[in-house]
């Protein structure tokens, strides 16, 4: 009954290890839901490397997804004309930036106080 | 004067003899496919940059062929002519593949440019769907059969990329009638190294058909021809759905890229993060995946009482299936050819040389599509493997020379992983700086940590797909393990990106700088070889 070959033993062992690990994770997530939020890096906002809007250069702005050459130039023009950004919402006043685009690249930007 | 000429002739002959002796010692000669692939690639490159008459090059090719046959007994002369023949074959092959037929859509494009046009053709690629502004964009490649002219359907040939700005039930293999605007792809900023127009041109696509929300899309014949390809695409769609069933949206998109090679939906921040840390190669299907597929196939068919050779044969079939399933990108095809050659050598009980196999893979890929020579994926894939095959044994040899006591266990694994990572990164760094304007020294270290975790992730991914169809109750546990592991991998990458000096932006890294970089690398490699030899001589 237990005459498994070495390879079969390895497969069964791996399968059991996965099931046991999965069951433990499930249990931990159920008991401590806040832990699931900590693990959930991909879905959260913590993974975004934020760029300071007041120090960003044109190249740095263009490197951000959803910001092209045109938008980057408009942001720099706005900064030159109105001085430093005090809050991120000011970006909406920049020509060409609509609410939808703003929501897309807001995760990559910040204003250092 | 006569004596002087005689001396000169003797000198030339002695030089030729010396070259011949050197050539016989060079590893390239003992690895014929490396030479064939390199010379063939040189022919393709020359054809892309120099305009030579077709008649002249054809005539030269036959002349050199004749000379190679006539001087077949004279080894060095025959070799030189053979090299010239391969070079010209490469150039002519490139010319024939880039020259469009007389009935191609390019010839009639000017009559239909930026106007509403009706065309019929067959869907020849996977149908992708992507959210676009407020709607969904359905994209696929279509082989045109006819365009509607004022006097009726006009027979036309060629490939176009179709973008339909709505959800449509079109599938691979369908024969469709479409109505839309025919236009050129945008070429992008001339300063940028990447041009979408060139990218599509390398796939022999020179035009885009944009079908508006109200544009006509009619399936004339469903599911005709290309049955196998259509079936594989359907399997791919089903597998994609499995990931979405157990994981969150972004996690599923990352795993789709990792296991199935569907990269268009990977979150942009993750792509950016992987690029900054030099681990973007994780999102491409490579030899690692094929190794795991082979391992799983062997594990499953071991249960059946089949002879060893038949098992290898079945594994080859599965590898081919997986290559098509993942979109047959250059890196996948390269790895598949190499794996198949290794398995065939096991069936035939003959030894295979990895460098020679790499040359064969390169030659086959260039034969299938000569324009893939200019594909970034092709260049990076071949250069990294070539670099590992050449540099890693030398570095290891040098290390063993310094420390004759072989390190076993974890330390030995760490040292070897570091050398593999260093070899691969040195090989691709020049091209990465040129194409992506970034230098990521952290990649050498991060890969040592990430690759074992990533291998585990790929195994769990395949395991989950397998288990979903056999024991769906267990798939949930696989999904939980995948979720944690994927987040750990991304977390480590994120932390590494935060290390000061993890990556540098390299602006204006020119082609001359790339040449200089690889020149220096070549010199360092020669030094490494000499150092190794000195060690062995002692």
- Name the pLDDT band for B38 (thresholds 50, 70, 90): very high
Q: Are residues B129 and B219 in the same domain?
A: yes
B17 lies in some domain: yes
Q: Are residues B89 and B48 in the same domain?
A: yes
- What are the phi and psi torsion angles at B468 (to 5°)? -60, -35
Question: Does the beta carbon of A113 lie under 8 angstroms from any beta carbon of chain B?
Answer: no
Give CA–CA dist B283/B260, Å, rounded: 10
B128-132 vs B159-164, strand pairing mode: unpaired
Tell me the pLDDT of chain B averaged across its residues.
85
Nearest to A41 among B249, B302, B487 (CB): B487
Evaluate whether B113 touches B182 at the Cβ level (below 8 Å): yes
| Chain A positions in Cβ-Cβ contact with residue B484 (cut-off 8 Å) | 25, 39
Q: B299: which 2 tokens?
A: 């594990």
B132 lies in some domain: yes
Residue where one domain finishes, among candidates B98, B117, B135: B98
Instruction: Find the helix or strand (DSSP H, E) in which B354 lies.
Output: helix B354-368
- Name the pLDDT band for A12 (thresholds 50, 70, 90): confident
Q: Are residues B82 and B10 in the same domain?
A: yes
How many beta-carbon pairs under 8 angstroms link A with B? 74
B418 lies in some domain: no
**Percent share of chain B, pLDDT over 70:** 93
Q: B66: which 2 tokens?
A: 């004749």
Residue where one domain finishes, among candidates B197, B225, B253: B225
Question: Does the beta carbon of B472 lie under 8 angstroms from any beta carbon of chain A?
Answer: no
3-state secondary structure of A42: coil
Q: What is the CA radius of gyration of chain A?
A: 24
- Name the pLDDT band for B27 (thresholds 50, 70, 90): low
Question: Does the beta carbon of A79 lie under 8 angstroms from any beta carbon of chain B?
Answer: no
- Name the pLDDT band for B430 (thresholds 50, 70, 90): very high
Q: Are residues B109 and B73 in the same domain?
A: no
Query: To the nearest whole angstrom, how far is the Cα of A18 from the nearest Cα of chain B?
Result: 6
Angle, CA of A37, A43 and A47, to the nearest 5°: 95
| Mean pLDDT for the stretch of residues B347-353 | 82
Q: Are residues B40 and B135 in the same domain?
A: no
| Chain A positions in Cβ-Cβ contact with residue B268 (cut-off 8 Å) | 65-66
Q: B285: which 2 tokens?
A: 């299907």
Structure confidence at residue B387 (pLDDT): 93
Q: Are residues B66 and B144 in the same domain?
A: no
Question: Does the beta carbon of B102 lie under 8 angstroms from any beta carbon of chain A?
Answer: no
Q: Are residues B155 and B131 in the same domain?
A: yes
- Choice between B190 and B306, residue whose per-residue pLDDT is larger: B306
| Chain A positions in Cβ-Cβ contact with residue B486 (cut-off 8 Å) | 42
Which range of residues forms the domain containing residue B137?
105-225
Highest mean pLDDT among B97-101, B186-190, B273-277: B273-277
pLDDT in tens, B283-314: 888 888 888 888 888 888 877 778 888 888 99
Angle, CA of B397, B398 and B401, to the nearest 5°: 85
Q: What ipTM was predicted for this assembly? A: 0.75
Residue where one domain finishes, among candidates B207, B225, B243: B225
Q: Are residues B132 and B83 in the same domain?
A: no
Answer yes or no: is pLDDT of B217 > 50: yes
Structure confidence at residue B537 (pLDDT): 46
Q: Do B267 and A39 touch (CB under 8 A)?
A: no
Give the mutation candidate from A31, A32, A41, A42 for the B interface (greatest B CB count, under 10 A): A42
Q: Which residues contact B148 (CB under 8 A, 6 or more apart)?
A: B117, B118, B119, B154
Query: To the nearest whole angstrom, how far is the Cα of A94 from the nearest Cα of chain B?
Result: 20
Structure confidence at residue B50 (pLDDT): 85
Give CA–CA dist B380/B382, Å, rounded: 6
Count of domains forming chain B: 2
B505: alpha, beta or left? (left if phi > 0; alpha if psi -120 to 50)? beta
Q: What is the CA radius of gyration of chain B?
A: 26
Q: Do A41 and B490 touch (CB under 8 A)?
A: yes
Q: Are residues B122 and B86 in the same domain?
A: no
Q: Do B269 and A47 touch (CB under 8 A)?
A: yes
CATH (domain of B140): 2.40.50.140
Q: Are residues B68 and B141 in the same domain?
A: no
Query: To the nearest whole angstrom, how far is the Cα of A84 from the nearest Cα of chain B?
Result: 25
Q: Do A42 and B486 touch (CB under 8 A)?
A: yes
Give CA–CA dist A22/A27, Å, rounded: 9
Answer yes or no: is pLDDT of B235 > 50: yes
Answer yes or no: is pLDDT of B54 > 90: no
Give CA–CA dist B45/B43, Å, rounded: 5
Candidates A86, A85, A84, A57; CA nearest to A72 is: A57
| Chain A positions in Cβ-Cβ contact with residue B496 (cut-off 8 Å) | none
Q: Are residues B149 and B168 in the same domain?
A: yes
Give CA–CA dist A72/A78, Å, rounded: 10
Evaluate whether B128 touches B164 at the Cβ level (below 8 Å): no
CA B220, distance to chain mean position in Å, is 35
- Choice between B81 and B23, residue whose per-residue pLDDT is larger: B81
| Chain B positions in Cβ-Cβ contact with residue A16 (cut-off 8 Å) | none
- What part of A 8-67 touches B (C-beta under 8 Å)? 11, 15, 18-19, 21-23, 25-26, 29, 39-43, 46-49, 59, 63, 65-66
| Mean pLDDT for the stretch of residues B222-248 | 82
pLDDT in tens, A34-83: 888 888 888 777 777 778 888 888 877 887 777 878 888 888 888 888 88
Q: Do B481 and A107 touch (CB under 8 A)?
A: no
Candidates B320, B323, B344, B333; CA nearest to B367 is: B333
Query: To the nearest whole angstrom, how far is the Cα of B508 from the nearest Cα of chain A?
Result: 12
Answer yes or no: is pLDDT of B184 > 80: yes
| Mean pLDDT for the stretch of residues B38-67 | 88
B358 lies in some domain: no
- Choice between B523 and B284, residue whose per-residue pLDDT is larger: B523
Structure confidence at residue B169 (pLDDT): 85
pLDDT in tens, B320-338: 999 988 888 888 888 899 8
- Name the pLDDT band for B317 (thresholds 50, 70, 90): very high
Query: Where does chain A have alpha helices with state H?
Result: 6-31, 33-39, 58-62, 69-82, 99-105
């Amino acid at each position: 009954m237990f005459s498994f070959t070495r390879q079969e033993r390895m497969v069964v062992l791996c399968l059991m290890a996965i099931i046991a690990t999965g069951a433990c994770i499930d249990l931990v997530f159920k008991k401590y839901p806040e832990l699931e939020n900590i693990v959930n890096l991909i879905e959260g906002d913590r993974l975004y490397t934020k760029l300071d809007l007041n120090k960003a250069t044109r190249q740095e702005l263009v490197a951000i997804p959803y910001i092209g050459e045109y938008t980057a130039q408009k942001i720099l023009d706005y900064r030159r004309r109105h001085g430093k950004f005090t809050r991120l919402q000011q970006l909406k006043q920049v020509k060409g930036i609509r609410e939808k685009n703003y929501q897309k690249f807001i995760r990559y930007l910040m204003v250092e106080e | 004067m006569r004596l002087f000429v005689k001396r000169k002739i003797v000198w030339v002959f002695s030089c030729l003899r010396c070259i011949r002796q050197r050539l016989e010692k060079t590893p390239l000669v003992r690895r014929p496919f490396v030479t064939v692939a390199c010379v063939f690639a040189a022919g393709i490159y020359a054809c892309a940059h120099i305009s030579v008459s077709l008649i002249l090059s054809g005539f030269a090719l036959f002349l050199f062929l004749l000379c190679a046959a006539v001087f077949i007994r004279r080894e060095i002369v025959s070799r030189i002519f053979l090299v010239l023949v391969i070079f010209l074959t490469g150039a002519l092959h490139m010319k024939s593949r880039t020259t469009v037929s007389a009935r191609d859509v390019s010839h009639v494009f000017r009559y239909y440019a930026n106007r509403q046009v009706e065309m019929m053709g067959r869907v020849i690629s996977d149908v992708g769907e992507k959210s676009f502004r407020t709607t969904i964009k359905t994209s696929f490649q279509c082989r045109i059969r006819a365009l509607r002219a004022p006097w009726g359907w006009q027979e036309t040939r060629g490939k176009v990329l179709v973008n339909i700005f709505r959800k449509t039930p079109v599938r691979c293999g369908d024969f469709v009638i479409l109505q839309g605007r025919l236009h050129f792809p945008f070429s992008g900023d001339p300063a940028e190294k990447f041009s979408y127009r060139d990218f599509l041109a390398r796939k022999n696509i020179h035009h885009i058909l944009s079908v508006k929300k109200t544009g006509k899309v009619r399936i004339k014949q469903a599911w005709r021809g290309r049955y196998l390809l259509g079936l594989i695409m359907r399997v791919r769609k089903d597998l994609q759905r499995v990931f979405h069933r157990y994981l969150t949206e972004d996690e599923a998109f990352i795993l789709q890229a990792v296991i199935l090679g569907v990269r268009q939906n990977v979150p942009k921040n993750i792509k950016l993060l992987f690029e900054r840390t030099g681990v973007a190669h994780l999102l491409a299907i490579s030899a690692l995946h094929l190794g795991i597929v082979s391992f799983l196939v062997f594990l499953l068919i071991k249960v059946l009482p089949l002879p060893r050779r038949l098992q290898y044969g079945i594994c080859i079939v599965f590898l081919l299936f997986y290559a098509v399933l993942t979109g047959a990108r250059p890196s996948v095809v390269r790895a598949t050819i190499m794996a198949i050659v290794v398995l065939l050598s096991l069936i035939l009980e003959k030894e295979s040389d990895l460098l020679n196999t790499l040359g064969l893979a390169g030659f086959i890929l260039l034969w299938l599509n000569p324009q893939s020579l200019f594909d970034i994926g092709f260049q990076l894939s071949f250069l990294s493997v070539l670099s590992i095959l050449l540099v890693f044994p030398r570095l290891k040899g040098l290390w063993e020379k310094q420390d004759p006591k072989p390190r076993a266990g974890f330390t030995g694994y760490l040292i070897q992983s570091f050398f593999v990572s260093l070899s691969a990164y040195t090989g691709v760094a020049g091209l990465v700086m040129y194409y992506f304007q970034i230098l990521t020294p952290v990649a050498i270290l991060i890969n040592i940590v990430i690759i074992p975790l990533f291998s585990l992730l790929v195994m769990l991914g395949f395991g989950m797909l397998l288990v979903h169809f056999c024991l769906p109750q267990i798939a949930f546990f696989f999904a939980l393990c995948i979720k944690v592991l994927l987040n750990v991998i991304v977390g480590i990458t994120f932390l590494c990106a935060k290390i000061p000096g993890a990556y540098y932006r390299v602006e204006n890294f020119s082609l001359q700088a790339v040449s200089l970089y690889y020149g220096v690398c070549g010199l360092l490699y020669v030094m490494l070889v000499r150092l190794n030899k000195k060690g062995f001589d002692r």
